[in-house]
Amino acid sequence: MKRTVVIVLFEGVDLLDVTGPPEVFALLRRELGPDDTSGYDVVLAAETPDPVTTSAGVRLLPDATFEEAAARPIDTLLVPGSVEVDAHGRVHALTDPAVVARVRTLAARSRRVTSVCVGAHLLAAAGLLDGKRATTHWSTARQLATEHPEVEVDADPIFIRQGDVWTGAGISACLDLSLALVADDHGETTALRVARQLVMYLKRPSGQSQFSVPLEPVSTTRRIEDLRLHIMDNITRPLTVPDLATHAHVGERQLTRIFKTELGMTPSAYVESVRVERARNQLESTDATLERIATTCGFGTTDTLIRAFRRKLDTTPTEYRQRFRT
């Protein structure tokens, strides 16, 4: 029998979060053939039968109301998300209490609960991620961890499975998550055929950290902003903890506390993140040699550059350039 997948709709929902998974399931149907009775029956559910306007301005027509969807057994509940962006370009995940209540009710009727992108915030608000490890879009991971300390937030994986609760990373990762569901239900060989139709990896070679921007402003503290600018302007210098502490006119221990509080990492880890980010940009947009990039980004040697890439991105500079060269 077909598995019923209920996708939650609400005003302002991210369009790809809603439409991406059904495309994967439709390609599965093509691979299984017209006589196969398995696969997925996708149901778009909303508060009312009226069209729902997505964040992209595209209107979607629900197949059922939440009450109608909750009246039947659900194999997979798929919860997308929505965000707002402030005047400074900062992204904030939205959690409407009414939608959270509906998600909680539908989850109780579901064999498996999944979220895509910032939909994890709705699952967390509904109490479905308590005590679990979860992921979300890298830009809202800190918000999720702050608002829900009972959730172990890991911003790097493309998706995380914790029993019958699955969480997916940012935006296009809805395709990766959907492929993982197909692999779980129909086997990896079938999922691989679907992945080939999508012209994508069945499993990406690395996590979403390779797409994030660690230099994004995350603090309003003038002292830490001054330190961040100082680091970027002096990236080729040693930038040791004593050097940074002297620049900030604080002790070394206080400097470490400031970095951990404001940026969630040690000063050394942050400096390495800045250097990796600058190296990524050069790998993507220039023909500079690894030796040149290692020098201009403050790594000193190619070996140090390679070790940093393996540590931060789980890949090498050469592999990164081959995948993301523009």
Asked if 178 and 297 sit in the same domain, the reply is no
Q: Which of 70, 116, 117, 144 is catalytic?
A: 117
Which of 188, 209, 230 is the last residue before a domain boundary? 209
Clarify whether 297 is annotated catalytic: no
User: Within a domain: residue 39?
Assistant: yes
User: Within a domain: residue 35?
Assistant: yes
| pLDDT given at position 152 | 93
Asked if 181 and 307 sit in the same domain, the reply is no
Q: Is 304 exposed, middle or buried (0-12, 13-18, 19+ CB in 10 A)?
A: middle
| pLDDT given at position 323 | 82
Which of 153, 181, 209 is the last residue before a domain boundary? 209
Residue percentage of the chain with pLDDT more than 70: 93
Distances (CA, A) of 277 to 154, 211, 215, 297: 20, 10, 8, 9
Asked if 177 and 311 sit in the same domain, the reply is no
CATH number of the domain bearing residue 159: 3.40.50.880
Asked if 296 and 167 sit in the same domain, the reply is no
**Residues lower than pLDDT 50 in the chain:** 210, 212-220
Q: Containing domain of residue 227, as a range?
A: 222-324
Asked if 30 and 162 sit in the same domain, the reply is yes
User: Within a domain: residue 98?
Assistant: yes
| pLDDT given at position 324 | 75
CATH number of the domain bearing residue 268: 1.10.10.60
User: Within a domain: residue 214?
Assistant: no
- Label residues 176-188 b or e (16+ Cβ within 10 Å = b): bbbbbbbbebbee
Which of 179, 209, 239 is the last residue before a domain boundary? 209
In terms of Cα–Cα distance, which of 98, 142, 94, 156 is closest to 121? Answer: 94
Q: Which amino acid is at 89?
A: G
Asked if 161 and 114 sit in the same domain, the reply is yes
**In whole angstroms, what is the distance from residue 301 CA to residue 281 CA?**
18
Asked if 58 and 123 sit in the same domain, the reply is yes
| pLDDT given at position 207 | 58
